[in-house]
Structure 1
Amino acid sequence: MLPKKQLERINELARKAKSSSLTLSEQKEQLELRKAYIESFRGGMRNTIEGLKIIDEENNDVTPEKLKNIQKTKGLHGR
């Protein structure tokens, strides 16, 4: 997750863009902040997905092999 100051700056630039126009340096800053936010979000989502263990109704582990291999590499779930 991005630091609170960066999130506040993203919102500040978004509000300013709606009410008036951004300077070129502000536009560049906004793009860089958005890239950082997206990278952070994707990283968190990847960690969440890679940590999943899928169990069916009969309590069988039905986690896809590809995910099991990733978890084994990272040492998750004792695989």
Structure 2
Amino acid sequence: MDQSQIERINFLAKKSKSEGLNEKEKGEQQVLRKAYIESWKNGVKATLSQASFVEADGSITPIRRKSDG
């Protein structure tokens, strides 16, 4: 997600609060918001995949994803 897309999200949010959005703008806003959330989630996942715990004995344990079962 680049800066121009974030600026567009912010513009549409301000316009929505002040004067409202037409249907085309509402659709654009939803698409941009969904892309922003996906980008954010991917960033968090990448950060957590590099994280680890330092145990009391000094050993390092990588964080593992919990299984769904």
Taking the TM superposition and a 5 Å limit, the aligned residue runs for 1:61-72 are 61-64=60-63, 67=64
After superposing on structure 2, the runs of 4+ consecutive aligned residues of structure 1 that deviate more than 3 Å are none
Which secondary structure does the structure 1 equivalent of 2:53 belong to?
coil
Percent identity, aligned pairs only, is 37
* Structure 2 gap ranges (5+): none
- Runs of at least 5 residues in structure 1 that lack an aligned partner in the other structure: 69-79
Distance (Å, rounded) in 2 between the aligned partners of 1:19 and 1:33 = 19
Superposed displacement of residue 47, structure 1: 0.3
CA RMSD of aligned residues (A): 1.5
TM-score (norm 2): 0.85
Which structure is higher in strand share? Answer: 2
More helix as a share of residues: 1
Once the 2 structures are TM-superposed, how far is the Cα of residue 60 of structure 1 from its aligned partner? 1.9
TM-score (norm 1): 0.75
Aligned to 2:22: 23
CA–CA separation in structure 2 for the residues paired with 1:31 and 1:45: 21
